[in-house]
Amino acid sequence: METNIVMAPETSPKFTDQVDRSNHTHFMGIEGAGMFALAELFRRRGCVVSGCDLAPGENSEQLKLDQVEIYGSHHESHLSGVNTLVVSSAIPWTAQEIQEAIRLEIPVLKRAEALGQCINHGEILAVSGTHGKTTTTAMATEILDIAGLNPTGIAGGYVFSWGGNLRHGGDLYVVEADEYDRSFLELKPDIAVVTNIEEDHLDCYRDLDEIISVFGQFLGSLPSNGTAVVCGDDRIAGRVMNGLEGRKVSYGLNPGAQLRATEVHQSDDGVSFSLLEQGINCGHFRIKSLGLHNLQNSLAAVASSRCLGVSWEAIREGLRSYEGVKRRFEIIGFHRDILIVDDYAHHPSEVTATLVAARQAYPNRRIVALFQPHLFTRTKDFASDFGESLLVADEIWITDVFASREDPIEGVTGGLIASSVEQSGRTVRYHADMNTLSESLIKFLTPGDLIITLGAGSIRQVSEEIKVLLQSGGFNE
């Protein structure tokens, strides 16, 4: 039977500038970090919420505890009583619920559109960049909370001090502004942070020049009294900032930065540093997170907080009290003198930064890296770069690609990255089968190792399995 597919309208209907308490909103792909946070925000603001996801997990279980109806499939019947449908970027427009919603003239919004329509009435601190968005968002929210500004934080990861992806507060919003699918252009920020700009998401951008152009468009959307906060250490981000009119603040480690970190000391329990603002010494600070990349993230949080008039005392306490984000150099366990770490790194630069941080914090441990590539397009585009980034580790293991929203691409596997490592003259172990990976790894590990799982997919489960095996004695010293 022939099916008539209705395509997405050029502009989506506007359902409200704020969450309507009588509105029933259904979220497709509710398990995703960004969708879950938005659904939780709608629920906390009094909206009726339901959702569906083909891979329900921890987020869905949390919503069920809050009496939210969650389905493990897509079906037209889920739209009963629904006023608005919000869809993840990973959901194809041909999905049953979307087509039925269009037929019933129910507004269909992408997640970014719904977020913008929900929060654009407030004051927005939007954190953009190829890397570091979640950590910077969480740090800035922590500082503003300590300062008594009662922010609403919306992050793309589980923030330990929030107990989830959302810190529910007032109409000052600290939010991740994702460049994927140009999502951040739906926001109307008052302060816009750019942590860095690199090639990524080449499934929706032609090349780096187009990415740079869209970041320029994002910063150009600031109002006349808005502020751009940009990492001066990043050459491309700095170039975009230089082309801007209006108020702009640079941060970083380089001498030209308006907010500059000096006297930096790294250890296995964090980073300490001094801060100069316009050349004036503002004192000594400390974060518990590892690596210079997290120092830069903290500087972004500090610079944006200063734009809101936050005191140095509140900033110092906010940074000190920040407990981190799940899957950002998260220590899973320490057993039999083997340290188990898990990290979300899924771009070559992130892999490099994470492994360098591990090397600096634990110089006497053998670093065993287990990498799971994320997305076939990203693996194809950056296979050689991933191979180079993994060379920081002492031992390299690679498993197969986590597909996420994508269909397979012929010839694209984790083996491409393994081949890149081999071309550098290094030994690499390519183990495609996730089901037997932990058992193979446990035979390889020795006391004194640091085993770190890397990737945005399902690789964390291997670190958990290794922890259980070490605890249960499945390891021969």
Longest distance between any two alpha carbons in the chain, whole Å: 72
Q: Which of 210, 18, 300 is nearest to 218 (CA)?
A: 210
Rounded to whole angstroms, the Cα distance separating 354 from 371 reads 12
473's tokens: 């004695």
Rounded to whole angstroms, the Cα distance separating 354 from 392 reads 10
Which phi and psi angles does 91 have, rounded to 5°? -90, 125
State the sign of the Cα–Cα–Cα–Cα dihedral 169, 90, 216, 237: positive
Sheet containing strand 24-28, edge to edge, reads 69-71, 48-52, 24-28, 84-87, 108-110
Could you give the angle at the alpha carbon of 393 between the alpha carbons of 389 and 399, nearest 5°? 75
Catalytic residues: 133-134, 176
CB atoms within 10 A of CB 142: 28
Q: Write down the H helix ranges in 53-110.
A: 58-65, 96-103
Rounded to whole angstroms, the Cα distance separating 329 from 343 reads 5
Rounded to whole angstroms, the Cα distance separating 282 from 271 reads 17
* Burial of 153 per CB tally in 10 Å (0-12, 13-18, 19+): buried
326's tokens: 């799940």
Q: Which of 362, 367, 374, 424 is nearest to 397 (CA)?
A: 367
Q: Write down the H helix ranges in 22-150.
A: 33-44, 58-65, 96-103, 111-119, 133-146
Q: Write down the H helix ranges in 173-291.
A: 208-220, 235-242
Q: Which of 345, 323, 348 is nearest to 452 (CA)?
A: 345
Sheet containing strand 428-430, edge to edge, reads 330-335, 338-343, 449-454, 366-371, 395-398, 428-430
